[in-house]
């Protein structure tokens, strides 16, 4: 187990959110989407230009930009 | 029931839910054709209302905008919240996606915290079952304390039952009972203190439950805080101080914020609610969904862009191929109407107003209806299948460089990103963008694209001056349009719409096959708004432009001079030949009569050209020469450009009149090309400057009215006219002057 930023996760890598550092509008939007500590998350893939990133969380797929993913810390499992 | 008789026979229900939860589908299934679309007063969020009658009761159903929560960050959320608070619907029907329960219940919890009576529609039961999920509705209902009705909106299943339950709840006259969620040992005591203060002062209690107001103060909700300050500044300050103290405490002890803790606890509450016995996962293992498999290909680094180009091309082909024939029908119908009016009404200003002003003006707009219909149908299809979100996801990185959003691309493409679109549906397509800065920047720059009305004008000029490389020229102009749109978007975003880019958190909904009914309703709503506009603003502006190009007309002496000329021609003919001239006979005329007819026609054309020159528009054109000589335009071009504000196609017909060619068909513009080529004033350099100007200057008035409507303010409509025309003038002048310095064009 290691903690890293969502931005640095590899495709298909899974983990559990430990912290969401964003505040204000961005923080609220992230939380509205269900990204709160304790939530399992898996990287689905990245757009053709490597940004945004698509993640699977709570049975749905969400995309967010890398600079927004920088606010999310994840306890990751080893790359399968 | 006797008692029920005294109660109101009409119920007001609101429909709330996340985007992509099937809300619109359910709304359409319930209300069918009995719905109408408007705007919430003062803002651009759509307001949909529908009716349904159940056992003799009228149900008025208001579809709230799709939201993930009830915070007040986006317009949609604010609208949804304000509607609930101010209109006080008897029941909120909250649609939740059964295949994605926990996130959907986040909104439910917030609705319940607000206290409004809720009925949950557990939608997409079929999808959930397909994924091996079994949800026990009764158990969920018991734990939530509100009725839960399973539905499958796509098939209309459960809708009747849902409404029956809602009516029952409305009849029971349940009071607003806010739900209490525990927010943990740090937050709860503070909330309690705040609640007490709020209760004692009756602070905003006519609108919100006390605990809810307290929560909003902790969540830093600006709208509620502003309202609070207005209502009672001292209490508001006290509450803000308490919130600030808690924030400080939480930061020190937990390195967190109240809003984060609150969200965590809401999800915790939901997790506890769903534990043991509500959701049953029957298929174990991490089975990959079909949607994910499709995404492997459609958003793949290599295949994704290829597929996207193919899809765009298909949309384009579909729209323009299938709309071609109906557009011709519409045009033919309006032409026939014009001819009929010409015969039915005696010659004079009234006929001219009706035919040239109203019928041509409205016809020019209505002619687009089939095109817009197919365009919207294609977009609705891409939207409803879920592909549009994928395209936005793939393109976001590129558009971000220019201060735009991934979703901006559709508006550009539709507006003529591939030459030949139309800015009107393009502007309307910006609805898919949710955030306002990026949306406005897209609205303002999409009209730079070469729409289907500019193309014939450009084609005519290319045919006249760039015969050697026509295709390359049109391609160059398409590229230029993109460069200008993107660069100017960047400039706009760095100046008047400065600010950080909005967060890009976009859900990629599972791929779905859209319902035919949904597509049709989607498309019809938008078409109808367009048609309604044609009946109001557009008639007014058509009449105005017609008047500009008609009045004050020729003076009596000038008219007399033309009559004298005509008389002179007539006098060369014998009585018999005069009769032949006025007869309907077209062929086998004696040469003298032929010649006289030609001469008379030439006089008519010169009279029309002189009349145009002396009209208000003509005088404007002449006055504008002082400025436009910098970019090489004379009065005739200026008048045509003024007319082009009505619709860009008008540029050709007005140039035709100005160069005394008489009535000109846009299809048969070869004679105009010929005429321009021979005119000493025109040369390739002037033509190029003119093409650039036409590409960039003010959008046509239909587009401007759409911009006004979509941005919610006249300000942006006026801005787009002034800004685009200024840009066009500067660029065209630069082109012309640079070309002259290089010795081109003379």
B160 and B262 fall within a common domain: no
Give the closest-approach CA distance of A4 to chain B in angstroms.
18
Comparing alpha-carbon positions, the chain A residue that sits nearest to B256 is A21
Give the closest-approach CA distance of A47 to chain B in angstroms.
5
B234 and B91 fall within a common domain: no
Q: pLDDT band at residue B6, thresholds of 50, 70 and 90?
A: very low
Task: Answer left, alpha or beta for residue B668, where phi above 0 means left and psi between -120 and 50 means alpha.
Answer: beta
B666 within some domain: no
| B448 within 8 A of B485, measured Cβ to Cβ | yes
B89 and B199 fall within a common domain: no
What pLDDT score does B723 carry? 95
Range from B34-38, B118-122, B245-249 carrying the lowest mean pLDDT:
B34-38
Please tell me which residue, A31 or B661, carries the higher pLDDT value: A31
B259 and B308 fall within a common domain: no
B58 and B115 fall within a common domain: yes
Considering chain B, what is the average pLDDT of its residues? 85
- DSSP codes, B422-434: -HHHHHHHGGG--
| B444 within 8 A of B487, measured Cβ to Cβ | no
Q: How far, in Å, CA of B334 to CA of B361, rounded?
A: 10
Range from B44-53, B92-101, B195-204, B303-312 carrying the lowest mean pLDDT:
B44-53
With an 8 Å Cβ cutoff, are A45 and B103 in contact?
A: no
Q: pLDDT band at residue B130, thresholds of 50, 70 and 90?
A: confident
Give the closest-approach CA distance of A54 to chain B in angstroms.
8
Whether residue B318 lies within 8 A of chain A, CB to CB, comes out as no
Range from A25-29, B96-100, B122-126, B575-579 carrying the lowest mean pLDDT:
B575-579
B336 within some domain: no
| B724 within 8 A of B698, measured Cβ to Cβ | yes
Phi, psi dihedrals of residue B52, rounded to the nearest 5° = -150, 140
Taking contacts as CB-CB distances below 8 angstroms, the residues of chain A near B299 are 45, 47-48, 54
* Most confident stretch, B5-14, B376-385, B570-579, B586-595: B376-385
Q: pLDDT band at residue B42, thresholds of 50, 70 and 90?
A: low
With an 8 Å Cβ cutoff, are B68 and A63 in contact?
A: no
What pLDDT score does B502 carry? 79
B661 within some domain: no
B546 within some domain: no
Residue B58 preceded by cis peptide, ω within 30:
no
Q: pLDDT band at residue B572, thresholds of 50, 70 and 90?
A: confident
What pLDDT score does B362 carry? 77
Could you report the per-residue pLDDT of B694-704, keeping only the tens digit for each?
Answer: 999 999 888 99
Phi, psi dihedrals of residue B38, rounded to the nearest 5° = -145, -170
What pLDDT score does B367 carry? 74
What is the ipTM metric for this complex?
Answer: 0.95
Nearest C-alpha neighbor of B98 from the set B124, B118, B121: B124
B394 and B451 fall within a common domain: yes
Least CB-CB distance to B100: which of A52, A59, A68? Answer: A59
Task: Please identify, among B171, B197, B224, the residue that sits at the C-terminal boundary of a domain.
Answer: B171
Taking contacts as CB-CB distances below 8 angstroms, the residues of chain A near B99 are 59
What pLDDT score does B154 carry? 86
Taking contacts as CB-CB distances below 8 angstroms, the residues of chain B near A52 are 393, 396-397, 406, 504, 506
Phi, psi dihedrals of residue B449, rounded to the nearest 5° = -65, 155
Mutation site, B260, B266, B386, interface A, largest A CB count within 10 A: B260
CATH number, domain at B46?
Answer: 3.40.50.300
Q: pLDDT band at residue B661, thresholds of 50, 70 and 90?
A: low
User: Would the annotation count B98 as a binding residue?
Assistant: no
Least CB-CB distance to A28: which of B73, B299, B301? Answer: B73
Residue A52 preceded by cis peptide, ω within 30:
yes
User: Would the annotation count B745 as a binding residue?
Assistant: no
Q: Give the percent of chain B with pLDDT over 90.
A: 39
Residues 6+ apart with CB under 8 A from B648: B451, B453, B454, B457, B694, B700
B455 and B532 fall within a common domain: yes
Three-state secondary structure along B257-296?
Answer: CHHHHHHHHHHHHHHHHHCCCCEEECCCCCCCCHHHHHHH
The domain of B304 spans 288-328+367-502+514-540+630-635+643-649+673-746
Could you report the per-residue pLDDT of B508-554, keeping only the tens digit for each?
Answer: 988 888 888 888 887 887 777 667 766 676 677 778 878 888 888 77
Could you report the per-residue pLDDT of B225-250, keeping only the tens digit for each?
Answer: 999 999 999 999 999 999 999 999 99
Tell the burial category of B571 from Cβ atoms under 10 Å away from its Cβ (0-12, 13-18, 19+): exposed
Q: In angstroms, how far apart are the furthest CA atoms of chain A?
A: 35
Taking contacts as CB-CB distances below 8 angstroms, the residues of chain B near A16 are none
Give the closest-approach CA distance of B257 to chain A in angstroms.
8
With an 8 Å Cβ cutoff, are A36 and B291 in contact?
A: no
When divided into structural domains, chain B yields a total of 3
Q: Structure pTM?
A: 0.81
Give the closest-approach CA distance of B193 to chain A in angstroms.
24
Upper half-sphere CA count for residue B332 (Cβ side, 13 Å): 6
B258 and B312 fall within a common domain: no
B178 within some domain: no
Could you report the per-residue pLDDT of B136-180, keeping only the tens digit for each?
Answer: 999 999 999 999 999 998 888 999 999 999 999 998 877 788 999
User: Would the annotation count B23 as a binding residue?
Assistant: yes
Q: How far, in Å, CA of B633 to CA of B621, rounded?
A: 10
Report CA B425 to chain centroid distance, whole Å.
Answer: 6
Taking contacts as CB-CB distances below 8 angstroms, the residues of chain A near B295 are 44-45, 54, 61
Report CA B355 to chain centroid distance, whole Å.
Answer: 30
What pLDDT score does B247 carry? 95
- Surface of B (441-470) touching A: CB under 8 A: none
* Most confident stretch, B346-360, B482-496, B593-607: B482-496
Task: Answer left, alpha or beta for residue B554, where phi above 0 means left and psi between -120 and 50 means alpha.
Answer: beta
Whether residue B505 lies within 8 A of chain A, CB to CB, comes out as yes
What is the enclosing helix (H) or strand (E) of B46? Answer: strand B46-54
Whether residue B260 lies within 8 A of chain A, CB to CB, comes out as yes
Question: What are the extents of the domains in chain A?
Answer: 2-76
Q: How far, in Å, CA of B462 to CA of B419, rounded?
A: 14
Taking contacts as CB-CB distances below 8 angstroms, the residues of chain A near B502 are 25
What pLDDT score does B704 carry? 92
B274 and B296 fall within a common domain: no
Q: Which CATH superfamily is domain A2-76 in?
A: Ferrous iron transport protein A (FeoA) (2.30.30.90)
What is the enclosing helix (H) or strand (E) of B235? Answer: helix B233-254
Mutation site, A17, A36, A71, interface B, largest B CB count within 10 A: A36
Taking contacts as CB-CB distances below 8 angstroms, the residues of chain A near B223 are none
Phi, psi dihedrals of residue B81, rounded to the nearest 5° = -65, -45
């Amino acid at each position: 187990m290691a903690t890293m930023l969502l931005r640095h996760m590899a495709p298909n890598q899974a983990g559990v959110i430990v912290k969401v550092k964003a505040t204000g509008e961005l923080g609220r939007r992230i939380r509205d989407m269900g990204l709160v500590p304790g939530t399992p998350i898996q990287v689905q893939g990245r757009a053709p230009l490597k940004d945004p990133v698509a993640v699977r969380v709570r049975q749905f797929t969400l995309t967010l930009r890398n600079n927004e993913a920088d606010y999310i810390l994840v306890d990751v499992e080893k790359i399968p | 029931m006797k008692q029920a008789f005294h109660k109101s026979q009409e119920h007001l229900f609101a429909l709330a839910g996340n985007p992509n939860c099937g809300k619109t589908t359910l709304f359409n299934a319930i209300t069918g054709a009995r719905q109408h679309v408007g705007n919430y007063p003062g803002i651009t969020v759509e307001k949909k209302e529908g009716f349904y009658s159940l056992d003799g009761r009228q149900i008025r159903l208001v579809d709230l905008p799709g939201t993930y929560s009830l915070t007040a960050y986006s317009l949609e959320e604010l609208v949804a919240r304000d509607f609930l608070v101010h209109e006080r619907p008897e029941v909120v029907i909250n649609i939740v996606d059964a295949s994605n329960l926990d996130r959907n219940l986040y909104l439910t919890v917030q609705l319940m915290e607000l206290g409004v009576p809720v009925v949950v529609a557990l939608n997409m039961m079929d999808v959930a079952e397909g994924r091996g999920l079994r949800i026990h509705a009764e158990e969920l209902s018991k734990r939530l304390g509100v009725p839960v009705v399973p539905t499958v909106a796509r098939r209309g299943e459960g809708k009747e039952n849902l409404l029956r339950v809602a009516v029952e709840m409305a009849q029971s006259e349940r009071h607003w009972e806010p739900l209490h969620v525990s927010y943990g040992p740090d937050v709860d005591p503070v909330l309690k203190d705040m609640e007490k203060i709020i209760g004692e002062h009756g602070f905003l209690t006519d609108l919100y439950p006390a605990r809810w107001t307290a929560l909003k103060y902790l969540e830093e909700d600006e709208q509620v805080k502003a309202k609070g300050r207005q209502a009672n500044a001292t209490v508001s300050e006290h509450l803000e101080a308490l919130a600030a103290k808690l924030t400080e405490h939480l930061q020190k002890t937990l390195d967190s914020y109240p809003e984060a803790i609150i969200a965590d606890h809401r999800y915790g509450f939901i997790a506890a609610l769903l534990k043991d016995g509500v959701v049953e996962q029957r298929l174990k293992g991490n089975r990959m969904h079909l949607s994910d498999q499709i995404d492997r290909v459609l958003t793949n680094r290599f295949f994704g862009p290829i597929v996207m180009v193919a899809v765009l091309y298909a949309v384009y082909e579909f729209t323009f191929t299938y709309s071609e024939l109906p557009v011709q029908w519409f045009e033919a119908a309006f032409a026939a109407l014009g001819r009929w009016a010409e015969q039915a009404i005696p010659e004079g200003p009234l006929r001219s107003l009706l035919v040239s002003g109203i019928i041509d003006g409205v016809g020019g707009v209505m002619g687009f209806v089939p095109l817009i219909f197919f365009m919207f149908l294609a977009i609705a299809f891409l939207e409803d299948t879920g592909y549009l979100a994928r395209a936005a996801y793939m393109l976001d990185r590129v558009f971000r460089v220019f201060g735009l959003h991934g979703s901006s691309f559709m508006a550009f493409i539709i507006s003529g990103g591939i030459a030949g679109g139309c800015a009107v549906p393009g502007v309307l397509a910006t609805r898919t963008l949710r955030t306002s800065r990026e949306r406005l920047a897209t609205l303002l720059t999409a009209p730079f694209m070469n729409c289907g009305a500019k193309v014939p004008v450009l084609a005519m000029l290319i045919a006249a001056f760039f015969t050697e490389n026509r295709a390359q020229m049109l391609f160059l102009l398409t590229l230029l349009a993109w460069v200008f749109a993107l660069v100017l978007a960047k400039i706009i975003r760095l100046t008047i719409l400065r600010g950080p880019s909005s967060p890009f958190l976009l859900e990629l909904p599972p791929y779905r096959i859209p319902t035919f009914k949904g597509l049709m309703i989607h498309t019809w709503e938008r078409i109808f708004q367009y048609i309604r506009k044609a009946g109001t603003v557009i008639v007014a502006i058509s009449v105005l432009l017609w008047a500009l190009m008609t009045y004050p007309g020729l003076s009596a002496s000038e008219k007399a001079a033309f009559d004298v000329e005509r008389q002179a021609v007539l006098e060369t003919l014998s009585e018999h030949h005069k009769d032949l001239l006025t007869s309907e006979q077209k062929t086998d005329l004696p040469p003298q009569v032929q010649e006289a007819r030609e001469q008379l026609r030439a006089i008519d054309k010169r009279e029309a050209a002189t009349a145009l020159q002396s009209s208000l528009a003509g005088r404007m054109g002449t006055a504008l020469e002082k400025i436009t000589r910098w970019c090489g335009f004379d009065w005739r071009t200026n008048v045509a450009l003024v007319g082009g504000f009505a619709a860009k196609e008008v540029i050709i017909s007005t140039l035709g009149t100005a160069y005394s060619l008489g009535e000109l068909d846009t299809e048969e513009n070869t004679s105009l090309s010929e005429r321009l080529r021979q005119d000493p004033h025109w040369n390739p350099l002037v033509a190029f400057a003119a093409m650039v100007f036409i590409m960039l200057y003010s959008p046509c008035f239909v587009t401007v009215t759409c911009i006004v409507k979509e941005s919610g303010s006249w300000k942006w409509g006026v801005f787009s006219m002034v800004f685009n025309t200024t840009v066009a003038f500067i660029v065209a002048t630069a082109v012309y002057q640079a070309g002259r310095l290089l010795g081109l064009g003379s």
